[in-house]
Structures are given as C-alpha cells and as structure tokens.
Chain A
Amino acid sequence: MDKTIRILTSYVIGLILIFGFYVVIYGHILPGEGFDGGMLIASAFILCMIVYGRDEAKKRVNISSALVVSAIAGLLLIVVGFLGLIGIRDGHQFFLDNFLPQGDPHYLFSGGIVPVLNVLLGVLVGFGFYALFGYLVVWRGERGTDAEP
C-alpha cells in the first residue's frame, strides 16, 4: 500500500488495541461489553493484515494459533460454568453460578463472575474473527483470482 498509509497506521494500531482491552475489562461499569471489545481487538489485527499484507500479519499473530486460542477460551467458559455446579457458594448449586465475592459497586473488582466472563468472551470473539478474515478474504482460488484487495 501507499507509504503515507503505512506510516499513519503504525501510529494508530497500538491505540486501537489498548482501547479494545479497556472496553473489555471495564465492561461491567461503562457501556460496552465483551462482544464490542472483542471486535475492536479483531479490527486492530485486520487493519494490520490489510495495510501490510498477509505475511507481515502472520509474523505477528499466526492464524492457526489464533484459532487455537479462541477454542481454548470457549473451553474455559464451560469449565467456569461447571465450577458453579460443585457448590462453592452455599445453597446455590447450579451451572454458571456467581461464586466470586461481590465487592463495592462502581469499582473494578466488583460484580462477581461478570468481569471474568467478559474477558473470556472478548478473547474468543477477537481472535476468532481475525482467523475468519484470514481464511475468507485472502484466499487463492483455482482460476488464479489472487491475493489481497
């Protein structure tokens, strides 16, 4: 791509990634959620792939390992759900129970299990959509319709 666009993108990508993590972590206090923050993280990676080409983006985050990370986050969701079934909280024994202590509202460490689920959702959505984009768009067909737009 153009040299102007490459220089401008190199300044902006880090800010987008940090903002995505901020929206995911503070999801239970400010508007925004696991899905929105995860999509922002995916947008940072997709921007790197569009501007610099597929090989540069593969050097930073490999597409196969992004898929594996996303699947592990999905498995961890089920594991956290089953932890509630064991009965850490007395009297409430059901799937996806809220067993962490609820701190004071309006602070970061509050809300029980909600921030943990937010982070897991953000990782799943973000890395998953980056891998999806890597497969769908930069695909070499049989007739020779080639590479990136």
Chain B
Amino acid sequence: MFAILLVSILIFVLIMAALAVQIRDLMSSVMALAGVGFGLAIVFLFLSAPEVMTAQLVLEVITYVIMISVVYKTSKLDKTRKYSVREISPAAAMFFFAVVFIIFSIRGIKDLPIFGEPLMRASSLQIAQTISEIGATNIVTAILLDFRAWNTLMEAFVIIVMIVGVTVILRKKGRKVER
C-alpha cells in the first residue's frame, strides 16, 4: 500500500514537471512548477522527513510569490517561435544524451545499498551521542547546529551575499549614457 501511494505521487510530480516545461502561457507554467514543489513536499512526508517537508513548503511558497510578481509585471506569454520538423537538433541531441546517461546511471546505481537499508556509518555514532553530548532531542537540528555548524555559518553568508547582489543589480541609476 505504501509503495503504490509513493509511486503514484511520484508519477504525478513527473507529469506536472513535463507540463511546466511545455505550456506556452507563462502564468500556467509557473503554477505547474508550484504543483511540482507541493507534490515533492508530500513525497518527503511519506519518507519520514518532517524538517525537510517544512523547509520545502515555505521555500516553495516564497519562490511562487516572487515568480508570479515578476511574470505579472513583464510579459505574460511565451512569444518565441515554435520548432518546425526540420530543425530538430536540440531535441535529438537531448534524446541521445538521455539514453547514454540512463544506461550509465543504472550501472552506477546497482552498487548502492537496497532502497530501505542505508549504511549509516557516521549517522549511528551521531545519533548515539546526541543526548550525552548536546542534550537536544531534535536530532536533525542538533546535527545542523553542533556537529555541522560550519555549513550553517557559510549558508548565512550566502543569504547575505544574495541580498547584496539583488540590491546592486536593481539600482535606479545606471552608468551615464555617452553623449
């Protein structure tokens, strides 16, 4: 029962992704992208990951609001030309690459542990030490803020760099126009 539900929601996610790529109306395309995000949040809930699910939901909503505002203020339709039957080179190159990629990735995936029994070499040590060394009960927060605090610090820097970058790009005064 669990496997059937999981596979059906994954098929729903794939269909919404294909719709987001192909639809020519930009508002509907962004809505299909939001559908991909929410379907993925349900998949994370099935795989017992509550923190990842809340992070995905909140980030998805913020992305959706910002993209809708950008599309609403600029063009709303995709006015590029359609490909005729003669010009098939991007699709053909993509198809060839996809076949090669899938063949090699199946040969690589065969060495992974079976779905449902991960190795957990480093994680078992960290789970055992959470109560004795830190005293917090949420294991994922304890890992992110004590065993791996460097990553969190660098991530805070990335957020500040992003804010500085957006402020610089959207300045009101550009360079002076040459006369």
Contact = CB atoms under 8 A, between A and B. Distances in A.
A/B touching: CB–CB < 8 A? yes
Interface of A: 27-36, 39-40, 42-43, 46, 50, 67, 70-71, 74, 77-78, 81, 96, 98, 102-106, 110-114, 117-118, 121, 124-125, 128-129, 131-133, 135-137, 139-140, 145, 149
A131 B59 CA distance: 16
Nearest to A31: B50
Consensus secondary structure, chain B interface: helix
Nearest to A109: B135
A31 B156 contact: no
A137 B157 CA distance: 23
Interface residues of B, number: 43
Contacts of B138: 27-31, 33
Nearest to A104: B135
B99 interface: no
A129 B62 contact: yes
A78 B138 CA distance: 24
A35 B146 contact: no
A114 B70 CA distance: 37
A106 B137 CA distance: 6
A135 B160 contact: no
8 contacts: A28-B142, A33-B54, A33-B141, A36-B58, A77-B156, A98-B146, A102-B134, A121-B152
Contact of A77 (B68, B153, B170): B153
Interface stretch (B101-109, B113-121, B161-169): B161-169
A106 B160 CA distance: 33
Query: 10 smallest A-B Cβ distances: which pairs?
Result: A102-B135, A111-B136, A28-B136, A31-B50, A39-B58, A96-B149, A137-B69, A36-B54, A110-B135, A149-B72
B61 interface: yes
